[in-house]
Amino acid sequence: MTTLRSFQNEIEEIHNREVTRQRQITTATTMENAAKVMKGKAKENVDTPAAKEEPRRDTQGEARAGSAVDEDDDEILNLLLSKEPADRDAVRDRIAALLTRHNGEYVIRIGERPPREELYSGELTDESAGWKGASRSIEDVQTLVQELTKTVEEVGGRALALFDVMKAGHPRTAVLLRLPPPNVSLTPEVRCAVVGNVDSGKSTTLGVLTRGMLDDGRGKARVGLFRHKHELETGRTSSVGMEILGFAPSGQPILPNTSHTADPDTIRREKLGWEEISLQAAKIKYLKTTLYGLTSGAPSCVILIVGANAGLIGMSKEHLAIALALSVPVVVCITKIDMTPPNVLAETVKQVVKILKSPGCRKTPVFVKSAETAADIATSFGSDRICPIFQLSNVTGQGLDFLRTFLNLLPSSEGDKEKFAVDQPFEYSITEVWSVPYVGTVVNGIINSGVVKAGDTVMLGPDSNGNYTTTMIKSMQRKRANVNTAEAGQCVSFALKRIRRAAVRKGMVLVHKTDAAPRAVKQFEGQVLILYHNTTLQKNYQAMLHCGAVRQTVRITGMDHPQGVLRTGDRATVQFEFISHPEFVKEGMKLLFREGKTKGLGVITRLL
């Protein structure tokens, strides 16, 4: 029986190998076409030697840029303590350059850094071994915070002290330096999938985070998320698709003024709109609460909400399995700690830790009980196997500030250049479709690769017959602001020319126009592992497949298993067929199929 751990490693290797291979083929084709163009130009103008030269890369410049990223923070801090006017000018220029290099956001630490292991375990003392960096006095730390704030404001930014430990031994702090974005469309975004079992506290937590007021223990906080009459009557959300949480350049969350009232109509009415949040924000968090958002939204992290009174049950386990299968970093929030008896809370904590440490998860749980821990984890999140655990009360507010600090510092989803390649041909996955009066058909989704401009001619497909239609992008928006260009990693809406709403569905793609349309796939082969099935899976079994933005029923047409049947824990090469219509899928894409309690995960290895 294949272990989940070894299988996850294998599908990750297949995925990375296929992505690299496809990019190499595309790059080689692009270079070949460019060479043909250059050759043609050379024939046209033989006397122009410049036509034969290839552009030279400034490798020295690249090396300089790479080393400049590793600027020593202590040198900047020493300049800030200097009384020399020349040093003041120099440090202002260096901070401006530092912010520009780091996309307008940088965390600078003042004082010695504690050993991470002791900080995470909660056993940190002044006598702990392994402190790093320059030691500062309490007076120096306070002076540096003031000087940093003043200097950043001089270059048009804002500063926020994330925490301060002002006691003898190791006085220290970390200061967030942030520049406001040049315009709304360039505001960095972080996509988070918020998942969990029914009644775990998802809606209440989202309500508290995005509205600012605490809950009253009877659902006051989630009222602002209700959209329908039946939700008000039952007290349960059924339609929450996405909430947004904005952080100002100062680092503070952008919240409506609803903490003064308990009136549900006022709470819903005073909700801040997208435009209001976007205009004030220096960073935006998209918080999606659907399973489709987890599989199609390319989230930076999954926030798993666990009710302390119920534990990790039902859909929570399935959501965790999907997040692990898709290799998305996980954050656990244990809610309702104010109403849960201590012994029950201890049991839930023990269960969560046990599951996270299990061979299938192999995560290192870290309980976040200070702003310093939250700041440290957020800046390195995703690069290691750490899983932060927040214990929250939406009634008393306990733990919420630590969660806000963590979310504020999460790196932008657009910054992952390995996942989103700007230098590849344009490819865009459609996750939402609307018909807008006086505009026409509008699609929303994520650019998987390439760059696109308003007015570009693109191909939309595949339709039910596997064909592609040529259309044009009339206009485009990011965060409801008009833009002219967008690139890989960004979430964008396009208005399409002469395309009927009925002709577009979720899972279709827009690609750059070429002579040969991309292949529409009806059948494919994949390496799969059955996570759970109560009996046996055999030929002609049908299940719902999730693969990127694609969501369609598939049928098993064949498998290489000796008995011709698959049980829980079995691994096999399986042939699938889409039931309804062909889709745009590629080798190396991760897949997940489910039907009732049955779950399987895998990777596409061959298109048939």
List the chain domain ranges. 1-52+520-608, 65-178, 189-415, 427-512
pLDDT tens digit sequence for 432-463: 999 999 999 999 999 999 999 999 999 999 99
Structure-block tokens of residue 203: 């809606």
**Mean pLDDT lowest among 137-146, 312-321, 405-414, 549-558:** 312-321
* Residue 239: band (very low, low, confident or very high) from pLDDT cuts 50, 70, 90: very low
Per-residue model confidence as pLDDT tens digits over 33-52: 666 656 665 554 444 343 33
Share of the chain above pLDDT 70, in %: 84
Is residue 496 within 8 A of residue 564, CB to CB? The reply is: no
For residue 297 the two structure tokens come to 């939204």
Better pLDDT: 455 or 280: 455
Q: Which residues pair with 285 in a beta bridge?
A: 190, 245
In the beta sheet, which residues pair with residue 600?
530, 593
Lowest pLDDT segment from 298-307, 311-320, 498-507: 311-320
Q: What is the mean pLDDT of residues 184-191?
A: 82
Q: Per the structure block, which two tokens stand in for 442?
A: 């509008």
Minimum mean pLDDT among 65-69, 108-112, 241-245, 258-262: which range? 65-69
> Which option is the CATH number for 189-415: 3.40.50.1980, 2.60.40.10, 3.40.50.10800, 3.40.50.300?
3.40.50.300
**pLDDT score recorded for residue 266:** 57
Identify the pLDDT of residue 148.
93
pLDDT at 82 over 90: no
Q: Residue 270 above 60 pLDDT?
A: no
Average pLDDT over residues 1-28: 81
**CB-based contact 221:207 (threshold 8 Å):** yes
Structure tokens at 38: 């250059």
In angstroms, the CA 602 to CA 326 distance is: 9
How distant, in Å, are the alpha carbons of 112, 299, 432, 511 from that of 192? 32, 5, 17, 26
- Angle formed by the axes of helices 73-81 and 138-154, nearest 10°: 90
φ and ψ at 407, to 5 degrees? -65, -40
- The arithmetic mean of pLDDT across residues 332-356, rounded, is 95
Specify the residue for token string 């994949």.
526
172 pLDDT higher than 70: yes
The answer to whether 1-52+520-608 and 427-512 have equal CATH topology is yes
What is the Cα–Cα distance from 317 to 153, expressed in whole angstroms?
46
Tell me how far apart the alpha carbons of residues 477 and 482 are, in angstroms, rounded to a whole number: 4
- Give the model confidence (pLDDT) of 564-582 as tens digits: 899 988 899 999 999 999 9
Average pLDDT, the chain: 83
**CA atoms 521, 525, 531, 537: torsion sign:** positive
Mean pLDDT across the stretch 176-198? Answer: 86
Q: How confident is the model at residue 159 (pLDDT cuts 50, 70, 90)?
A: very high
Q: What is the mean pLDDT of residues 151-180?
A: 91
Q: Mapping DSSP to helix (H, G, I), strand (E, B) and coil, where does residue 604 land?
A: strand
The neighbour count for residue 499, using CB atoms within 10 Å, is 20
pLDDT score at 157: 92
Query: In CATH, what is the architecture of 427-512?
Result: Beta Barrel (2.40)
**Strand 301-307 relative to strand 189-196, pairing:** parallel
Q: Pairing mode, if any, of strands 427-436 and 509-512?
A: antiparallel
**What integer pLDDT is reported at residue 496 of this predicted model?**
96
In terms of Cα–Cα distance, which of 445, 441, 415 is closest to 432? 445
- What pLDDT does 573 receive? 94
Partnered with residue 141 across adjacent β-strands are none
Q: Does domain 1-52+520-608 have CATH number 3.30.1330.10?
A: no
Q: Are 112 and 130 a contacting pair, CB within 8 Å?
A: no
Instruction: Kindly report the number of other CB atoms within 10 A of residue 45's CB atom.
Output: 10
Report whether pLDDT(64) > 60: no
Query: Considering only 77-91, 152-166, 509-523, which range has the smallest mean pLDDT?
Result: 77-91
Q: Is the pLDDT of residue 68 over 70?
A: no
Tokens 């360039």 -> residue: 186
pLDDT band at 61 (very low <50, low <70, confident <90, very high): very low
Quickly tell me which residue has 């004082």 as its tokens: 111
